[in-house]
Amino acid sequence: MKQIYSSFHEAVKEIKDYSTIMVGGFGLVGIPENLILALVESNVKHLTVISNNCGVDDWGLGLLLQNKQIDKMIGSYVGENKEFERQVLAGELEVELTPQGTLAERIRAGGAGIPAFYTPAGVGTPIAEGKEVRTFDGKDYLLQTGLTADFSLVRAYQGDRHGNLVYNKTARNFNPMMAAAGSVTIAEVEHLVEPGELEADGIHTPGIYVQGLIEGQQEKRIERYTVKAKA
């Protein structure tokens, strides 16, 4: 059986200053909302965060930004967060931008124990500056390193007490690969079930990758509304 936390504050209490954390989600879909809120309230500082994006100004990882808890962000998209832009331009935040597919593969590689790989994405762009480029079959490829983290915070639809996880549709996004790449993975689940209740063939993340779980309900905010004008 895995550690089942009784509170979100307890779940994140081992995350200390200068930790590297991966946070699942794409936009606001599939983010571990309550774990992020607990991390904000913990006031832990100088974090390096690996995530596809950094939330919005008033939700998700954007709350950590507002509280000046992030020193460095490794991600692929930052377009919805004005505070992110302000901190970057003011020199308050270090940013490492990576093409989205490359970011996903760097995380997957880290979880698989693969230290580096070659990809054509980014060749001839500022992404390639200072990095090794090799030619295979007449085409240039850029060396990218795998990514790991001290802690991975992921969100799942269901999880059992053995740590097996099932994600809901697009909330699957970065969560499975991040679960494998963290030294300690903490899963926020909407429904905690007993062993045997999950269909074995339908498990997305095996429990071997998960060290702790906590059950909680999410607000599931919408990042951007698109509505049809009245006729």
- Residue range 4-10: average pLDDT? 97
Residue 122 belongs to domain with CATH number: 3.40.1080.10
87-91 long-range contacts, CB within 8 A, separation 24+: none
The dihedral built from the CA positions of residue 225, 90, 22 and 43, taken in this order, carries a sign that is: negative
- Total domains in the chain come to 1
Residue 224 domain-assigned? no
| 226 within domain boundaries | no
**Residue 229 forms part of a structural domain:** no
Q: d(Cα 124, Cα 213) in Å, to the nearest integer?
A: 43
pTM, two decimals, is: 0.93
Is 63 buried (19+), middle (13-18) or exposed (0-12) by CB count in 10 A? buried
In this prediction, residue 120 carries a pLDDT of 97
pLDDT tens, 34-63? 999 999 999 999 999 999 999 998 899 999
List the domain range (segments joined by +) for residue 199: 3-214
User: Within a domain: residue 76?
Assistant: yes
**Is 222 part of a structural domain of the chain?**
no
Q: pLDDT digit string (tens) for 84-104?
A: 999 999 999 999 999 999 999
Q: Give the lowest-confidence range in 24-28, 112-116, 190-194, 217-221.
A: 217-221
- Average model confidence (pLDDT) across the chain: 95
The tens digit of pLDDT for each residue in 145-187 reads 999 999 999 999 999 999 999 999 999 999 999 999 999 999 9
Does some domain include residue 32?
yes
Contact residues for 140 (Cβ-Cβ < 8 A; gap 6+):
120, 123, 124, 133, 134
Q: What is the pLDDT of residues 66-78, one digit of tens each?
A: 999 999 999 998 7
Residues recorded for the chain? 231
Residue 227 domain flag: no
